[in-house]
Structure 1
Amino acid sequence: MCCLLLFGNVFSPTIAQAWGGRGHHVICSSAVHLVQNENLRRFLQGRPHTMGHLCNIPDIYWKSLPPSVSRSGDPAHFLDPEVLGLKVKNIPLDYAKIEKDFLGRDNRFKPAAKIFSVADDFGSLWWRADQFFRLITGRKDAFAAAKTPQNRKEEQDDKLPYNQEVYAMMVNMGLMGHFVGDAAQPLHNTADYDGYASGHGGLHSYFEEAVVSAAPANLESRVYEEARRIRKAPWLKPGPPLERLRAFSAESEAELPQLLGKDPIKRKSEARVEKGMAIKTPAERHDPSIGWKRYERMITGDMARASRFLAALWDDAYAAAGKPDLSGYRSYRYPFTPDFVPLDYLTPASGETSKAQ
């Protein structure tokens, strides 16, 4: 089966969903049980379904919004270090500096191309996760000033400051979880996100969606058990979230050769450009059940890493927000479709999307 992309580059980024719906839910639902702070864990343990849902919002809802909204958020799901000619461990953490140093320079992944938009061509995965961490910690004073509900009516009052603060914290924790999950997916840490540059075209959705769907019913319990055994990792050490996210992505990047080596292909993919059209023929692969046998340890391990790291970030954000009392929250309000959160770390230049040009 072949697909045509008009006037595009064969290896241009596309909308990708790390782990699919099941995988993101597993990561965030498992993380609930890995939180160390007793008060926060007690609050979250009654809401694993809610956190799993929130962790999927950037894929299942935000990407369905009009292009004028979704276009700015799509590149925040990945990092393409090859575009800058850097390894993950060497990527600067100051996004404004990256934009200043690389905007207009040669795109090291696409021959004869320039970096027209750092946000679009390189991505901003770590900074998006960090944004939600900051949204939580930045409400410390507001949380401290909010009084718990005094009666049944106040418990269900969505405009009560306390209810608003708890709800916002819960939503931001869940949204942050999506991007931590993305960082655990090796193909979200490379410009060759779908494998076409290496003859593995179509690998992205096969690995994260089809193969994960073929996993057994006990996937979540296996992820949890493996995650709880993770005691030492550079990204578990105290420090700024961006530094820890970089260390976390470096582990994902290191798995790329193994991921390609295990790909159960029957025939390699093809990609070429003819008369301004990018022509792609994905690789032929064995059934996802075969893929699960090959990727079982990698997928379970990556989801476990994400779940453990996410729980640690939740703990740290909660502590930095003053460890607010959550026991008074009784609201039935459910975050079906949280509003899109605009990216707050881009300069006007880095926020321009080359896809729109």
Structure 2
Amino acid sequence: MHKSVLSFLVGLMLLTMSSTSLAWGGRGHHAICDAATHLVKSPQLKEFLLHRPHTMGHLCNIPDIYWKSLSSESRKLGDPGHYINVEKIGVSFKDLPADYKKIIETYTGKPNKQNEAQTLFSIPDELGSNWWRADQFYRLALQGAQSIKSADKPKGSKEEQDNSLAYNKAVYDMFVNMGLMGHFVGDNGQPFHSTADYDGYSAGHGGIHAYYEELLVGEFDADIVGQIVKRARSWKSQTFTQQKTVIDNMRILSEVTSSEVKDVLKLDPVTTPSNLRIEKGMSLRTPAKRRPPAEAFKKMEPLLVKQMARSSYLLAHFWDEIYKSAGSPDLKAYKSYQYPFTPDFIKPDYL
């Protein structure tokens, strides 16, 4: 394909992608959750998950590859769970209340701090709810894990494949919700999910979001999971695993990753800045022109690995906490072949 044609197609893709369609990309999310199975510390849980890295990787992509193909109502409810934009309500991450309903009550109808002429009509849409979405799936996974101990284990091969059996259902619910949670923990490790300038247009770097997480991640060799695991294992501890709640750990991770937006923009190989103009009430965007991802990858690779490793590290911590909080239930009797191809969409419960 001619370079000019390729550049046009890439530019068109970046222009037409909305903020709600952007995440780490399929490969990045899969790699984060695959890597997390190697970072779990609880022996029996680790043994269980190491037989399912492909399953966990698949689950971590469900909110993007399946749920976003569902009804517009599902999209409206689900999309805000992928990001957090504190600039619009004018507070820092550390000062944002942990109670989402309190946030809605406090800020609905207030001026948009990025544009005082606008009013905040929908806090979920304007602010996002990434931390609370992760917390929701943590709680759902914990419920499944807690149900395992009281359930009778399957007796014989027929019961092992009976998906309605309480034990099988409890284990399935536990790991499915663990995997779904992984998507939102992954989103939080991507710096452009914690800023209102999610695609770089305010800084003249329009189109950076997909370039960074899709095109650059696509440049990794086959050792992407190994690199993430190696980096995560080099850390003795992280502040975003030392807080008392899921919300507060996610809060710290947002602070850390959002601070690196400037580092990404500094490395972004822009040759022609992007342009954003308003005509007849419509935003017309022309993405930046930049060097091909293969040329930029070597400089960007360490930052990409570090950010994905943070998400894997925190995700493994959450998985361990779920398992231990449930009393380390026995998982060895789970033999079901049931695979979570298309888990049902789950509505946010914190609104």
TM-score under structure 2 length normalisation:
0.93
CA distance in 2, matches of 1:243, 1:141: 23
RMSD: 1.6
CA distance in 2, matches of 1:110, 1:198: 17
Query: SS at 2:306's partner residue?
Result: helix
Query: SS at 1:279's partner residue?
Result: strand
Equivalent of residue 284 in structure 2, options 243, 257, 279: 279
Counting only pairs closer than 5 Å after superposition, residues 340-351 of structure 1 correspond to structure 2 as 340-346=345-351
Compared CA separation, residues 176 and 55, structure 1 to 2 (3 A): same
Equivalent of residue 29 in structure 1, options 12, 27, 34: 34
CA distance in 2, matches of 1:129, 1:102: 22
Bigger mean CA offset, 60-69 vs 86-95: 86-95
Q: What 5-or-longer segments of structure 1 have no aligned partner?
A: 4-9, 347-357
- 1:291 deviates by 2.4
- Give the partner amino acid of 2:54: H
Equivalent of residue 231 in structure 2, options 226, 234, 241: 226
2:33 matched to 1:60?
no
Equivalent of residue 115 in structure 1, options 105, 117, 120: 120
- 1:216 deviates by 1.8
Query: SS at 2:112's partner residue?
Result: coil
CA distance in 2, matches of 1:92, 1:290: 42
- 1:238 deviates by 5.1
Compared CA separation, residues 50 and 68, structure 1 to 2 (3 A): same
- 1:287 deviates by 0.3
- Give the partner amino acid of 1:317: I
- Give the partner amino acid of 2:32: I
2:300 equivalent in structure 1: 295
CA distance in 2, matches of 1:275, 1:159: 56
CA distance in 2, matches of 1:123, 1:233: 25
Give the structure with the larger helix fraction: 2
- 1:90 deviates by 2.3
Compared CA separation, residues 107 and 133, structure 1 to 2 (3 A): same
Equivalent of residue 19 in structure 1, options 6, 19, 24: 24
Equivalent of residue 200 in structure 2, options 175, 195, 200: 195
- 1:150 deviates by 1.0
Work out whether residues 145 and 326 of structure 2, in 8 Å CA contact, stay in contact via their aligned partners in 1.
yes
Counting only pairs closer than 5 Å after superposition, residues 1-357 of structure 1 correspond to structure 2 as 14-139=19-144, 141-237=146-242, 239-346=244-351
Count of aligned pairs between the two proteins: 339
- Per-residue CA shift, 1:130-159, capped at 9, x if unaligned? 001111223455322211111110000010
CA distance in 1, matches of 2:329, 2:245: 21
Work out whether residues 227 and 305 of structure 1, in 8 Å CA contact, stay in contact via their aligned partners in 2.
yes
- Give the partner amino acid of 2:178: M
Bigger mean CA offset, 63-72 vs 194-203: 63-72
Q: What 5-or-longer segments of structure 2 have no aligned partner?
A: 1-7
- 1:14 deviates by 2.6
Work out whether residues 144 and 173 of structure 2, in 8 Å CA contact, stay in contact via their aligned partners in 1.
no
- 1:74 deviates by 0.6
Work out whether residues 143 and 324 of structure 1, in 8 Å CA contact, stay in contact via their aligned partners in 2.
yes
